[in-house]
Amino acid sequence: MNSEHSAEQTAAAPSKEKTYDIVINGQQETVSDHHLTYEQVVRLAFPGGPFDILYSVSYANPHGHDGTLAPGQKTVVKDGMSFNVIKTNRS
């Protein structure tokens, strides 16, 4: 029974360990989430904050559509995606 359990773990392991190589503001990052939220991208771009301001988040997907993210939104992550995150002025 142990060999069956090990085989199940081995078969399941690749899907759990899938990573995606992306670029955020010119810096290579590796993430394991298949979806990234606006908030996650901002924290990857500016780990030290500040988080009480708005950021403009745009992305280029070589395997699909380009777009933007607003607070509360998320996008599907693909290898090679590029994100640009800039601080915006409050209005």
Higher model confidence: residue 77 or residue 51? 77
Is the pLDDT at 18 greater than 70? The verdict is: yes
Helix (H, G, I), strand (E, B) or coil at 42: helix
Calpha distance 50→27 (Å, rounded): 19
43-69 residue pLDDT tens: 999 999 898 899 999 999 998 889 999
Is the pLDDT at 39 greater than 50? The verdict is: yes
In this structure, of 5-19, 30-44, 59-73, the range with the lowest mean pLDDT score is: 5-19
> pTM score, two decimals?
0.77
